[in-house]
Structure 1
Amino acid sequence: MRTLAILGSTGSIGTSTLDVVRAHPDRLSVVALAAGRNRDLLKTQCETFRPRCVSVGSQEDAQWLRAQLSYQPELHWGPEGLLACALHADADTVVAAIVGSAGLASTEAALRAGRRVCVANKESLVVGGALMHEAALAGSGELLPVDSEHAALHQLLDGRDPASVREVRITASGGPFRDWPLSRIQAATVQEALNHPTWKMGPKITIDSATLMNKGLEVIEASVLFGLTADQVAVTVHPQSQVHAMVGFHDGSYQLQVCANDMKLPIQYCLLYPDKQPGPVAPYPWEAARTWTFEAPDPERFPCLGLAFEALREGGTAPALLNAANEVAVAAFLQGRLGFWDIQACNRETLSRLPAQPLCSLDQVLDADRAARRHAEGWVQTRA
């Protein structure tokens, strides 16, 4: 029986994780749930799964939840609450699904405490990947990727000799603007950018998909997870989102991982690894007629992807600077303070103005994050 702490339980990854738990009551149980401000949904989750430890965004939310629940779990809030859930003595597996750099400390602490950490918080690996590996090594923790592309790569590379791998390719749907001309992309509205053709996700990651920054962050994540150089990771646009990753070998052959575009599949893979069991997603329907298409991403229309490769090649704190600037820019766009094309401009300006440093500590990463946020916010204010 795996005992879970789910950080970000009310988000799309968290709710899908709970669907997987429902499908495997004999193998998975919930010990801790952490969420932000969606306290009504968290209340329902608590009554259904009866976790022993619960964390919310604020003390006020904790007081509200205590008055609403029919039982009395341990109640925490804020960053300390995330750590309380991640380090709960009865949890052996942590699903890290807090969006943004807010999930960094709890992910690192869980790895250092020897937990299996199923990482859906890509920022933890993007901004502090070497530190996460160090924490896992120090605490005998286990790091498994929840992103569909990286879970696919994990399956394709598991047990392989790294010397046999020439390159890996992760696929991108292309987002809502895949076929749009540059002039129309530059003037895109918030509503248009949130209209993703394939995946149902939160607003921040949906905007990142529209700019292809999400795929750029995944490139950095793949490099960190599998020890690959920037020249060994590539992106292929595949609108059908059925092939999630490919591995190319030195003999010229490729192997592909195929499954339905449902996040419950990679989540279950991480939770039950190395076992593969029937779950809440039906097997891939090969009998249905279908066409797959593949194309190269356009760097002129999607410059954020190129910025991610630049940050990966520069290394050190450069990915942290880029990630922080992007979070500020995307939030400003969603608030109506920036235009869509300003997102890439803010990211480029921040990355070019702030020097990257060699990666040494979690505190240093957080300092770089704060510096980039200040710089990006100042840039946003000049555009108002």
Structure 2
Amino acid sequence: MAKEITILGSTGSIGRQTLEVVAAYPERFRVAALVAARNAELLAAQVRRFRPRLAVLLDVERAGDLAAMVQDLDVQVLAGEEGLKAAACLAGVELVVAAMVGIRSLAAILAALEAGKDIALANKEVLVAAGHLVMEQVRRSNRRIIPVDSEHSAIFQCLRQGGRVVEVLITASGGPLKEMTPAEMAAVTPEQALQHPTWVMGPKVTIDSATLMNKGLEVMEAHHLFNLNYDQIKVLIHPQSVVHALVRYGDGSLFAHLGPADMRLPIQYALTWPERWDLDSRFLDLTALGHLDFAEPDRRRFPCLDLALQAGREGGTYPAVLSAADEVAVEYFLGGKIPLTAISQVVARVLEEHRPVASPDLEQVLAADAWARGRAGEVAAHISSTGAESR
């Protein structure tokens, strides 16, 4: 019998690649629901190809356009937050692929877990902002979160050896700017920063990779997913992007997960776990690689990494504030309004001004997120108009 899945964020990079995996095994998967933020045209094309029972567009004003484009099909069209929750909790669905950027899907993910769904998680921000709430719901519901991020999928697989875990090593390519001086980084354009050397990702994740914010978020994600303390998690620069993570055990053994830089691999593993199916991805040629390089991250040039680690260690609402402020700052950079190096300045200022809540509930997490977005917009707008913070 085919496994029914819902995809939150079907028109984004991860969502599109998830549908590629589904298309490769049409007899093993059935798409029950698709959710997109605002791309009505692409969502309509996906609905026409995969024939879900439910399609949701979060942009309420464009939902009518979507309904008109698929009116000849047997599909229910919903809009907004209620539609998002309905898709996440749809009867018959076994697995919800959470691939939306930001925390907009947080409440829907919590509801899906409560409704008995497993989560294939490709969203960092949900665990960063509210990992304590999500993992508590996982325990209460006796459900699973299967990581989709390449690094966390690698950790997930390497942790299945048994024994005491000493440390987990998360690798980072270093992004497209790893050889640049601070002055060169200050002048980099969005187009340059989006040219990732090894991975094909969405713009937000690609910019976070360029600033190493992504690795800080991944450390926080690993902390929650695998119940690790922050002293057990380390970041290594690995430009070849072949070793995705390593786990060291108490007997000195070091297990590494190697694979091509192809996001379909961790996506498919999340969909098929605990089985491992064939994938039409290129195999690694170790002789062609010749060597694998590892180095410590340059924290002076990439301050976002330490900002994230500090927020994670302090906990409470700090991680939610960091994530929200970063999202706004990245939008300003992609819009050409602030330099890349100002992203860390925006985030640092917002974190400094935040009055934290130690053990926030869902409403307090959402309130911290909303406050941080507003304040980050003000700080970024000030930098854009004066350049004062970027010098």
Residue in 1 aligned with 2:389?
Answer: none
Point out the more displaced range, 265-274 or 181-190: 181-190
- After superposition, the C-alpha distances for 1:138-191 in whole angstroms (9 at most, x for unaligned) are 222211110000000000112524xx1111011101001111112211222212
Residue in 2 aligned with 1:379?
Answer: 379
Residue in 2 aligned with 1:139?
Answer: 141
C-alpha deviation, 1:62, in angstroms: 2.2
TM-score (norm 1): 0.96
Superposed, 1:233-248 pairs within 5 Å as: 233-248=233-248
TM-score (norm 2): 0.94
- After superposition, the C-alpha distances for 1:282-310 in whole angstroms (9 at most, x for unaligned) are 44344544321111110000000011110
Is contact 2:317–2:360 with CA below 8 Å preserved after alignment? no
Choose the corresponding residue for 2:80, options 78, 81, 106.
78
Query: Cα 1:353–1:60, aligned 2, differ >3 Å: closer, same or farther?
Result: closer
SS, match of residue 119 in structure 2: strand
SS, match of residue 104 in structure 2: helix
SS, match of residue 200 in structure 2: coil
Query: Cα 1:363–1:344, aligned 2, differ >3 Å: closer, same or farther?
Result: same
Point out the more displaced range, 6-15 or 246-255: 246-255
Residue in 2 aligned with 1:151?
Answer: 153
C-alpha deviation, 1:230, in angstroms: 1.1
Partners of 1:51 and 1:290 lie apart in 2 by: 46
C-alpha deviation, 1:352, in angstroms: 1.6
State whether structure 2 residue 31 is matched by structure 1 residue 30. Answer: yes
Point out the more displaced range, 30-39 or 148-157: 30-39
After the TM superposition, which parts of structure 1 deviate over 6 Å for at least 4 consecutive aligned residues? none
State whether structure 2 residue 55 is matched by structure 1 residue 45. Answer: no
- After superposition, the C-alpha distances for 1:24-68 in whole angstroms (9 at most, x for unaligned) are 222211000001222221111111110000001333422222222
Gaps of 5+ in 1: none
Partners of 1:28 and 1:283 lie apart in 2 by: 25
SS, match of residue 180 in structure 1: coil
Partners of 1:329 and 1:64 lie apart in 2 by: 31
Superposed, 1:162-311 pairs within 5 Å as: 164-286=164-286, 288-311=288-311
Residue in 2 aligned with 1:320?
Answer: 320
SS, match of residue 54 in structure 1: strand
Partners of 1:289 and 1:260 lie apart in 2 by: 11
State whether structure 2 residue 334 is matched by structure 1 residue 334. Answer: yes
Is contact 1:6–1:33 with CA below 8 Å preserved after alignment? yes
SS, match of residue 33 in structure 2: strand
Count of equivalent residues: 382
Partners of 1:102 and 1:148 lie apart in 2 by: 22
SS, match of residue 132 in structure 2: helix
Is contact 1:93–1:117 with CA below 8 Å preserved after alignment? yes
Matched residue type, 2:197: P
SS, match of residue 265 in structure 1: helix
C-alpha deviation, 1:263, in angstroms: 0.5
C-alpha deviation, 1:252, in angstroms: 2.8
Gaps of 5+ in 2: 386-391
Point out the more displaced range, 271-280 or 286-295: 286-295
Residue in 2 aligned with 1:96?
Answer: 98
Partners of 1:139 and 1:78 lie apart in 2 by: 26
Query: Among the aligned pairs, what percent are the same residue?
Result: 46
Residue in 2 aligned with 1:108?
Answer: 110
SS, match of residue 204 in structure 2: helix
